[in-house]
Structure formats: structure tokens, C-alpha cells
Amino acid sequence: MRNFHIILLLVSLTLGSCTPSNIETDDNSSKYNNDPFVKPAVITPLTLPDAWPTNIGRNPLNRSPATTRTKLVTLGTGMPSPNPYRAGPSHLLIVNDQPYLIDAGEGIWRSIAKAALINGDVLTPGLSPEKLNYLFLTHLHQDHTVGIPSLLLNPLNWIFRIQQEIYGPQGTEAMVKHIFSAWKIDIDAAISDGHDPAGGRATGHDILFAEDGLVYRDDNVRVEAFRTRHASLRDTFAYRFTSKDRIVVFSGDGGPYHANIVRAAKDADVLVTETVTEENIQYAPWGGNTVEEKKKEIFRFHFSPGVLARIANEANVRAIVLAHEQNYNSGEDYQATALMEEVRAAGFKGEIYSAMDGDIY
């Protein structure tokens, strides 16, 4: 019996050493587990902190209120950098089991499948692919749109195709038409191989409001667009979704302070947004050589923690969900939750979360 005890002890020690000690546990935590991570010795564009794993020692969580019929799923929380653990920017709002997509980054179908697999019981009724009929684009940067061809064309290989209504800045309608032209050979082949030529249509809708207006409404949601500013793009939007029980706002990519983001996010339950470290901006691999140059250039494209805190406080936002984070630092001093701390230190008093792919809020 004594030997048996030793064997059991060895087994438990071995199992214990396989489990990362910093995994956050929670009753709502899924079984999905992030791979352990070894910091690379050589930093290249593929091994920058931006491309590291989730850097949060936890599994995806369901943090949405149990009673709400409006669920935010952070499908893709990555940047353009090819982080294998974070897909390109995409979110899903599910209201009364009807899904609405916001942005379509790289890996969109895989992100949707991942969310369905790790949150199946909660999300399955709202994640039936033929229900994915609405997509709202915050702006036409490639990292937010490169998933559209996949969204529209991947179902060619399935039994059905999808009818999509795609709303976005000027150029959306042309982009959708060009996608179908670019993949004409594949589409024609699929139809000649017996796929339904009547399915799989998508229509792009250019939003032409001067400042803001109603883009879409149905029995579940009212969607308003607010013009914003993001680097040199002339046309970018924040979206405000109002359902019967929640207001969820998607800022899109940021930039300098803009009163329209405050208007879009007024009294929101959740603001899905982004920020870049100011404290450690010297480690950003772009934007110039000095800290001053980097701040000037990077904060044309993104919210500084101070600007984000100001916007969220002025708008009386209840909770910020950070995605698309640029949390630079040296490899040695990297802190996974540093951006949340920077936004809090800048004066934001509400709840703040650092999202990962597959979370529900």
C-alpha cells in the first residue's frame, strides 16, 4: 500500500506540473485552455509581444449577466500582428438569439467556431451560420475587413450559403462587389458543381451620414452609427446597439478625443474599445524613434489610456471591454493586465476587462 501511495503522489505531482499555476479559475470558466508559453529569445515581427499568446492566465469566461438576452461575444481580439492566439478584430452581438457581426477580421469563421465550441450551450441557438445575416464595419482597414471574403465564400464549401447585409463606410458596397469578382472562378465552379446559385448573396451599404444616424433596426435592436476619427481615414464609425435590456457600443479603432464617441457611448452598459500603452510606448516597434514621435503618431491611430478614460467617464460608461490592445513592454517586464491599470490610473471609475477570444460579456 505504501508503494501505491508513492505512485499516486508521483502521478499527482506530474499532473500538477502540467497545469500552469497562474490559470484563473471561475465557475463560468470554460474547459478551453491556452497553451503554455515560452518567451522567445529572439524578437522578430513574428515574436513581438503583440504576437504572444493571450498573456492572460485564464480561460475564456462568460461574464454576461445571467438575465440578459443581449450577449456580447469577443470573437477576435487581435491586432494586425499575427498572434496565433488572437484572431483579427471581430465581435458578435447576439440579441434574442439573432447574431449581429461587428467587423470581420482574419480567421472569422474559426473565431465563430471557437466561440461555439467553448460556449456551446449558451451560444448555440444564436450561432447557426445561416442566421449570420448582418455585418457592421467600423472602418475599412484591412485588419477589420480581410475576413469578409472568408465570411462570404467559405460557406460555398458547405451545404448552404449566406445572405449578408453589410453596412460600413463609403467603399463598402464596392468592396463587396469586388470580392465576388475576385473569386468569380471559384463561385462559378461551385455553382456548376451543383451549389445553389440563388444563395450566398451579399449587399454592401455605404453609410453616408454627415455625423450620425440610424443604420438599421428590427424587433431586437436599433443600430446607430456615429462618425469618428482614425488616422487618415476619412470615413470611420462607432456603432451603438440598443436592445430591450442593454446598450452595447463598438468604438472601432480610436485616435484623438472625439465628442461623437462620447455621444455614441452615452450611458452604455458596455463600450467595446481599444487602447495603447502610454507608459511603455518606448517599446512600440512603430511610430518613430523617440517617445514624443511615437506618442504623436500612435495616438493619431489609437486611444491613449487618458483619452479613453476621459471619453468613458464623460459618457458615463458602466463597463469597458478592451480588445485590439497594444500592450508593449520589454519581454522581462511584460504585465498582461497593464492596460487596464493604465486606464484606471487615468481616472476611469467603472468596470474594465481585458477580453480574449471567446469571452462573453
Least distance to Zn ion from the beta carbon of 74, Å? 14
Q: How many Å apart are CA 131 and CA 110, to the nearest integer?
A: 16
Query: Phi and psi (nearest 5°) for 85?
Result: -105, -5
Nearer to Zn ion, 143 or 359 (CB): 143
Here the cell at position 263 is: 455621444
Collect all residues with Cβ–Cβ distance below 8 Å to 60 and sequence separation of at least 6: 29, 30, 32, 118, 119, 356, 357, 358, 359, 360
In this complex, which beta carbon is closest to Zn ion, that of residue 30 or of residue 304? Answer: 304
For Zn ion, the closer of residues 141 and 227 by Cβ is: 141
Residue (17 or 232) nearer to Zn ion, CB: 232
| Spatial CB neighbours of 82, under 8 Å, sequence gap ≥ 6 | 46, 51
Q: Is 86 in the site for Zn ion (CB under 5 A)?
A: no
Residue 140 CB, nearest approach to Zn ion (Å): 9
Using rule CB under 5 A, residue 227 touches Zn ion: no
Please tell me whether residue 143 binds Zn ion under the rule CB under 5 A.
Answer: yes
Of 33-41, 139-147, 308-316, 339-347, the segment contacting Zn ion by CB under 5 A is: 139-147
Residue entry with cell 457581426: 101
Q: Quote the cell numbers at residue 57.
A: 492566465
Q: How far is the CB of 79 from Zn ion (least distance, A)?
A: 7
Binding mask 239-278 for Zn ion (x = CB under 5 A): --------------x-------------------------
Closer CB to Zn ion, residue 253 or residue 325?
253
Q: Which stretch binds Zn ion (CB under 5 A): 9-17, 58-66, 135-143, 200-208?
A: 135-143
3-state DSSP helix/strand/coil % of the chain, to nearest 5: 30, 20, 45
**Does 302 engage in binding with Zn ion (CB under 5 A)?**
no
103 is a contact residue toward Zn ion (CB under 5 A) = no
Q: Provide, rounded to whole angstroms, the least separation between the CB of residue 194 and Zn ion.
A: 39
Query: CA-to-CA distance for 325 and 78, rounded, in angstroms?
Result: 7
Lookup: cell for 95: 440579441
Least distance (Å) between residue 237 CB and Zn ion: 12
DSSP calls for 212-225 = EEEEEE-SS-EEEE
Which is nearer to Zn ion, 143 or 357 (by Cβ)?
Answer: 143
By CB under 5 A, is residue 141 in contact with Zn ion?
A: yes
**151: Cα separation from own chain's centroid:** 16
Retrieve residue 272's grid coordinates.
Answer: 467595446
Q: Strands across the sheet with 359-360, in order?
A: 202-206, 164-168, 134-136, 98-102, 90-95, 70-76, 359-360
Q: For residue 91, state whether it binds Zn ion (rule: CB under 5 A).
A: no
**Site residues (CB under 5 A) for Zn ion?**
141, 143, 253
